[in-house]
Amino acid sequence: MARRGGELEAFIAFLGGLLAVGLTALGMAGVGLVARPTPALKAAAMVTLGSVWPAVTTTVYLRLKPRAD
């Protein structure tokens, strides 16, 4: 019996995106402790965090999604 729907793949992709954002944020926080962040750098960090989650989530989901043979 084949499993359908893709809910598990979507959940795994969601968690993968969350993990990627968390690791990116930790790395940025570490850099922020060493270097003095400017407002432009803070804005760039928010844009980066905002784009990492959808990019990683979509990539992981598409890699996990079963393909029709």
> Domain for residue 69, yes or no?
no
CA gap 69, 52 in Å, rounded = 31
The predicted structure's pLDDT at residue 18: 94
For residue 67, what pLDDT is reported? 65
Residue 15 belongs to domain spanning: 8-64
Please report the DSSP string for 18-50 in residue order.
HHHHHHHHHHHHHHHHHS---HHHHHHHHHHHH
Residue 30 in domain: yes
Contact 13, 64 (CB under 8 A): yes
* Number of structural domains the chain divides into: 1
- Regarding pTM above 0.95, the answer is no
pLDDT over threshold 80, residue 4:
no
Query: Each residue of 7-64: pLDDT tens digit?
Result: 888 899 999 999 999 999 999 999 889 988 899 988 998 999 999 999 999 999 999 8
